[in-house]
Amino acid sequence: MVETGLGRKSVLVTGGASNIGRAIVFALAREDANIVFADIDEEQAQRTLKDATKQGKGRISFQAADVTKDEDVTALVERTMAEHGRLDVLVNNVGWDRPSAFARQSTMHWRRLIEINLVSTILCTQAALPRLIDAGGGAIVSVSSDASFGEPRETVYGAAKAGVNTMKAIAKEYGRHGIRCNVVAPGLILPTAAEEIGTNSLWVGRDAFFSDDQVEKARKMIPLGKVGRADDIANAVLFFASPGMAGHISGQVLSVSGGYATPG
């Protein structure tokens, strides 16, 4: 059996409280990784922290941080170094979307999309990179979206996520330092229960995770005939994070969308 090699590694996950981020924290916890996860939703983060600590032997902590703010990101990386003395893996999971017609999106709205989806990834990657290099190499895994390949009503969100995809250039620029950089691009990933998401989740107010009708419509558009779940993305993130399984894989964008998006 191939070992993931993530046990006792120091991992930083952004947006770890809700839905996909929460599943990523749980998956890493089961591998006995030492985890610091960041979020702006402290209440949901405390619930996730409680559940995550039961799942493995690693040390897990939560840091309240807005990863669109330089000072919060600096403090977040410093906290990780203070707790674990090193950084081996960065997971850029934070993101936000509210699909709407491009022509009707206010400047405030589209600037927010770029801040939360792209600027946060740039800030965290820049802050973490020197620490990953100090550790002798490591992995950056970012979460983008199938909207990065072009989806209606998600034009600016998709542009920001395409920027996240393109940041895989880090793989070429820093490969000589042992840095791997990969991207997971989820398709539709629905939560299954209210406790899986926080009050700040992009799913709040969205027809209670879609009505049965909406799920059915979405399901029909997906070749595998089912909507994705948070664990589907966590598994792909875990794979890319793992030096044991993906030690020679870098600079890739992987669509996890049940066959909906087939880039390349």
| Residues marked as catalytic | 157
Provide the minimum distance between the beta carbon of 2 and ligand NAD in the complex, in angstroms, as a whole number.
26
- Contact between 202 and ligand NAD by CB under 6 A: the answer reads yes
Asked if residues 85 and 107 have their Cβ atoms less than 8 Å apart, the reply is no
- Which of 128, 189, 241, 246 binds ligand NAD (CB under 6 A)? It is 189
Sign of CA dihedral 20, 17, 75, 36: negative
Residue nearest ligand NAD by beta-carbon distance:
95
Asked if residues 109 and 98 have their Cβ atoms less than 8 Å apart, the reply is yes
- Which of 76, 77, 87, 94 binds ligand NAD (CB under 6 A)? It is 94
Residues contacting ligand NAD: total by CB under 6 A:
34
Q: Considering the complex, state which of residue 135 and residue 168 has its C-beta at the smaller distance from ligand NAD.
A: 168
- Which of 4, 10, 93, 182 binds ligand NAD (CB under 6 A)? It is 93
- Contact between 182 and ligand NAD by CB under 6 A: the answer reads no
Q: Which residues contact 39 (CB under 8 A, 6 or more apart)?
A: 14, 15, 16, 17, 18, 21, 45, 62, 64, 65, 198, 200
Asked if residues 263 and 149 have their Cβ atoms less than 8 Å apart, the reply is yes
Quick one: which segment of 50-58, 124-132, 165-173, 199-207 binds ligand NAD (CB under 6 A)? 199-207
Amino acid at residue number 179 = I
Q: What's the rounded Cα separation, in Å, for the pair 170 and 156?
A: 23
- Contact between 88 and ligand NAD by CB under 6 A: the answer reads no
Q: Considering the complex, state which of residue 67 and residue 181 has its C-beta at the smaller distance from ligand NAD.
A: 67
Quick one: which segment of 26-34, 104-112, 167-175, 200-208 binds ligand NAD (CB under 6 A)? 200-208
Q: What's the rounded Cα separation, in Å, for the pair 262 and 111?
A: 28
Q: What's the rounded Cα separation, in Å, for the pair 198 and 219?
A: 24
- Contact between 198 and ligand NAD by CB under 6 A: the answer reads yes
Q: Which residues contact 135 (CB under 8 A, 6 or more apart)?
A: 10, 86, 87, 88
- Contact between 179 and ligand NAD by CB under 6 A: the answer reads no
- Contact between 232 and ligand NAD by CB under 6 A: the answer reads no
Provide the minimum distance between the beta carbon of 209 and ligand NAD in the complex, in angstroms, as a whole number.
10
Provide the minimum distance between the beta carbon of 129 and ligand NAD in the complex, in angstroms, as a whole number.
19
Asked if residues 87 and 178 have their Cβ atoms less than 8 Å apart, the reply is no
Q: To which residue do tokens 């983008």 refer?
A: 144
- Which of 25, 33, 67, 118 binds ligand NAD (CB under 6 A)? It is 67
Q: 107 φ, ψ to 5°?
A: -60, -40
Interacting residues toward ligand NAD by CB under 6 A: 14-15, 17-21, 38-41, 44, 65-68, 93-97, 116, 120, 143, 145, 186, 188-189, 197-198, 200-203
